[in-house]
Amino acid sequence: MRLLILLSGLLTFLSAQAEEVDQAAALATLQRADSLLIDVRSSEEFSAGALPGAIRIGHEEIAAQIASIAPDKDSPVVLYCRSGRRSGLAKQSLEALGYRQVINAGAYDDLLPLLETEE
């Protein structure tokens, strides 16, 4: 019974921590000239392949570095990572700083073919 309660609590915690992925909104936002595409993966992951035009800022560094590339808190910002978890955390950080147009685009591997078909 304790295990069931623990698992239930863990699932509740994880779902509360997860940020929703919205690839359709991300693709529409990336059509705007003023949008920023930020890869929040590690430098090793970024070096192995990144989306065209992406800037890399690790999810743990985004709060400290965002003002240097997006001083306007109304700038549209699209975030992605390997699975959507780190970009969700980065989205929460940016929203806590007052950024109003932040989108979690989810996983690099899911976005790459979508962007290639738009070219």
Question: For 78-115, what is each residue's pLDDT tens digit?
Answer: 999 999 999 999 999 999 999 999 999 999 999 999 88
Nearest to 54 by CA among 19, 97, 117, 105: 105
Considering the entire predicted model, what is its pTM? 0.83
CA 26 to chain centre: 10
More confident: 75 or 118: 75
Domain ranges of the chain: 31-116
What CATH class has 31-116? alpha beta
Q: Where are the alpha helices (DSSP H) in 18-69?
A: 23-30, 43-48, 62-69
Mean pLDDT of the region 41-53:
97
